[in-house]
Amino acid sequence: MKKILTVLLISFSVAFLLSGCRVTTIEQAIMAAESNGSIPRLNHDNTITGPDKDNNGIRDDIDAYIATLPYTEVQKKAIQQNARALNTTLTVDKTDKTALTDVSTKLVRAVVCIHDKFQDGTTTASKLISENEKMTINTKNRFIEYEKYNSARSGSVTRLPDGDTCE
């Protein structure tokens, strides 16, 4: 059923664009941008983690998006490490302090790794980090779960690791 609805939505969007109609609403603009690929079509289902068919710890739509980025394989691996680490904040038991610390360690290592791989004198690493957060935490359900993690970590102190933190 979901597939049918998606096909219908895409068909309507394409038909809308081909018809030459002016875009007059935000909804139409979203459909048009997602249809022509200028904005990635992200998963917005009600689940916390979303689909991960290859079971690599990264949501499939984000996996596909990372593959399109114009970076080296080493850099893409750093981006994937961030995507995986951020996903674990959604699934970790928020009452298990040891587990929370483990997730936080993964997160900080991913951050240090991506900065290490994008030492280009710009803020590219920070932009990729915020983009990862924006695309992963992209529904209210996921946001609520993410907030539980951040609240559980409030008051913590974390030292940035040294050396190679990439996986």
Partner 1 sequence: MSKKFFIRIVFGLLLTLSANAATCSKSYTLGFFNGVWNTEYESFDGTQAVRGLIGNTYNNEPVKYESFYNHTGSSVGATSLQDLAETFIQRANEIDKSGQMGKRFEYFWEFLGSSEPTFLDKLAGFLPNAASLFDSVYTAITTKLTSIISFFLSNPPTEADYTSHNARLDALATDGEKLMLVGHSQGNLFMNHAYDHILPVVTKDRVAAAHIAPASPTLRGNWVLADIDLVINALRIQGVTSVPNINLTIPASKVDVSGHTLSGTYLDPTRDGRGRVKTMIETGMGKLKNSCGHLEYRIIITDHDTIGGEVYHNIGSYLTIPSRDEVITALGYQDWTPVDWDASYVLQYHYDAVTSKSGYYLITNYDALVSASYLKENLPHGPLDGNWYFTEISKLYYYRVIRYVY
Q: Which residues are near partner 1 by CB under 8 A?
A: 23-30, 32-33, 38-39, 42, 44, 86, 89, 104, 107-108, 111-112, 115, 119, 121-123, 125-127, 129-131, 133-135, 137-140, 142-144, 146-147, 149-151, 153-160, 162
Reduced to 3 states, what is the DSSP secondary structure of residue 20? Answer: coil
Q: Contact, 61 vs 72, CB < 8 A?
A: no
Can you tell me the distance from the alpha carbon of 94 to that of 71, in angstroms, rounded to the nearest whole number? 34
CB closer to partner 1 out of 55 and 122? 122
Minimum distance, C-beta of residue 122 to partner 1, in the bound complex (Å): 6
DSSP state of 166: -
Q: Contact, 53 vs 67, CB < 8 A?
A: no
Minimum distance, C-beta of residue 115 to partner 1, in the bound complex (Å): 5
CB closer to partner 1 out of 56 and 126? 126
Minimum distance, C-beta of residue 76 to partner 1, in the bound complex (Å): 19
CB closer to partner 1 out of 55 and 97? 97
CB closer to partner 1 out of 55 and 95? 95
Can you tell me the distance from the alpha carbon of 89 to that of 98, in angstroms, rounded to the nearest whole number? 13
Minimum distance, C-beta of residue 44 to partner 1, in the bound complex (Å): 6
Minimum distance, C-beta of residue 80 to partner 1, in the bound complex (Å): 15
Q: For 55, left (φ over 0), alpha (ψ -120 to 50), or beta?
A: left
Can you tell me the distance from the alpha carbon of 103 to that of 98, in angstroms, rounded to the nearest whole number? 9
CB closer to partner 1 out of 55 and 117? 117
Return the ∠ at Cα 139 (arms to 51 and 113), rounded to 5°: 70
